[in-house]
């Protein structure tokens, strides 16, 4: 059976590497224009993490745009699932984000269940699901953001179940913060993510609030309750930082602190995200980043806290894949 000469093998590898570098540059440009927050945060990550993270976020951004641009078209979602299948077969479409992600998932052994969970979150949006309880909402947040948190942890080299569980906590906390921040904007677009049970307990009709979103003590109490739930997860996620490489800890901790600060801004606005959008000033972001770098995370504490129930399937997807790889 004929074999390739060492020269041809080297040239083939070089071509693949150069294409990967080109694809990453394209992804980087897309994020710089379309996702400034992630682009800025990624600059403090080590280069060996920043590059694959850029590929991951570029695909996530592309997927989100594909759904939004088609006004929630089910065909657009089906196409995304087809593209993800191609990525995992090693046959990505001729799109920089797809090609770059194909290399990343192979290099870091990311199970397909994780990005598939993200697309499942898009499917729930298209179905316009109602979230009755916090658990229902956490299940959505696990797909929309917990999945990305676990994939990011894997890119950073984390494989310990506690590290993955805390990464999922952080992703869900960030999603809950996004929901609290965007209550008014979502309602005006006919969307309601707040737990409907909480609205009724506060004396509000979910349908009436959607029809005429107004700020007041009742809705403020629901938003506060959601931010309190997010804060618990921000605190839980801190112990996971010690499982990450030292060079990754300041950036991830800064992201954790900056997102939590959105909640603090909402509190200053009396939880009014109907008429205002909470924004963390740049100067405050820089201060939190400097504090994160100065503080450091030097000692790993024993963390036996199980995964958030709604995140458990993400952690198990990784641990199951690792077990199969060793067998």
The region of weakest confidence among 36-45, 191-200, 223-232 is 36-45
Give the pTM.
Answer: 0.89
Place of tokens 């994939």: 151
- In this chain, the answer to whether the domains covering 8-107 and 113-327 adopt an identical fold is yes
Q: Give the C-alpha separation, 222 to 81, whole Å.
A: 35
pLDDT in tens, 212-264: 999 999 999 999 999 999 999 999 999 999 999 989 998 898 889 989 999 99
Give the CA radius of gyration of the chain: 21
The region of weakest confidence among 64-73, 126-135, 272-281 is 64-73
Angle at 283 between CA 278 and CA 286, to 5 degrees: 105
pLDDT in tens, 179-188: 999 999 999 9
Instruction: With cut-offs at 50, 70 and 90, classify the pLDDT of residue 40.
Output: low
Q: Give the C-alpha separation, 269 to 133, whole Å.
A: 25
pLDDT value of residue 4? 47
Place of tokens 């605190």: 235
The region of weakest confidence among 43-57, 214-228, 268-282 is 43-57
CA atoms within 13 A on the CB side of 221: 10
Instruction: With cut-offs at 50, 70 and 90, classify the pLDDT of residue 23.
Output: confident
**What are the two backbone dihedrals, phi and then psi, of residue 299, each rounded to the nearest 5 degrees?**
-125, 130
Q: Give the C-alpha separation, 6 to 264, whole Å.
A: 59
Q: Give the C-alpha separation, 146 to 240, whole Å.
A: 14
- 116 contacts 84 by C-beta, under 8 angstroms: yes
Measured CA distances, 247 to 45, 90, 156, 298 (Å): 7, 31, 10, 12
- 266 contacts 324 by C-beta, under 8 angstroms: no
CATH value of 8-107 in 2.60.40.10, 1.10.600.10, 1.20.200.10, 3.30.1330.10: 1.10.600.10
* Three-state DSSP state, 77: helix
Q: Give the C-alpha separation, 257 to 264, whole Å.
A: 10
pLDDT at 296 over 50: yes
Domain segments of the chain as ranges:
8-107, 113-327
The 8-class DSSP code of residue 144 comes to I
Architecture of the domain delimited by 113-327: Orthogonal Bundle (1.10)
Q: Give the C-alpha separation, 158 to 313, whole Å.
A: 17
């Amino acid at each position: 059976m004929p074999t390739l000469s060492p020269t041809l093998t080297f040239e083939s590898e070089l071509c693949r590497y150069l294409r990967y570098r080109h694809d990453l540059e394209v992804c980087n440009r897309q994020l710089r224009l379309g996702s400034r927050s992630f682009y800025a945060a990624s600059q403090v990550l080590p280069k060996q993490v920043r590059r694959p993270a850029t590929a991951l976020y570029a695909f996530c951004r592309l997927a989100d745009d594909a759904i939004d641009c088609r006004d929630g078209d089910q065909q657009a979602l089906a196409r995304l699932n087809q593209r993800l299948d191609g990525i995992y077969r090693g046959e990505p479409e001729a799109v920089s984000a797809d090609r770059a992600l194909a290399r990343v998932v192979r290099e870091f052994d990311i199970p397909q269940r994780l990005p598939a969970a993200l697309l499942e979150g898009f499917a729930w949006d298209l179905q316009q699901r109602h979230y009755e309880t916090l658990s229902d909402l956490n299940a959505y947040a696990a797909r929309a953001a917990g999945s990305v948190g676990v994939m990011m942890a894997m890119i950073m080299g984390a494989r310990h179940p506690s590290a993955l569980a805390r990464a999922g906590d952080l992703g869900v906390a960030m999603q809950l913060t996004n929901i609290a921040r965007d209550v008014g904007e979502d309602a005006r677009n006919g969307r309601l993510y707040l737990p409907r049970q909480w609205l009724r307990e506060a004396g509000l009709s979910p349908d009436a609030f959607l029809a005429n979103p107004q700020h007041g003590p009742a809705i403020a109490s629901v938003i506060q309750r959601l931010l309190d739930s997010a804060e618990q997860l921000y605190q839980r996620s801190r112990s996971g930082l010690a499982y990450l490489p030292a060079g990754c800890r300041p950036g991830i901790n800064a992201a954790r602190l900056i997102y939590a600060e959105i909640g603090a801004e909402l509190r200053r606005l009396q939880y009014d995200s109907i008429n205002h959008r909470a924004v963390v000033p740049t100067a405050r972001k820089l201060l939190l980043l400097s504090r994160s770098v100065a503080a450091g995370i030097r000692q790993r504490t024993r963390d036996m806290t199980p995964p958030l129930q709604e995140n458990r399937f993400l952690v198990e997807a990784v641990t199951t894949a690792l077990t199969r790889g060793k067998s």
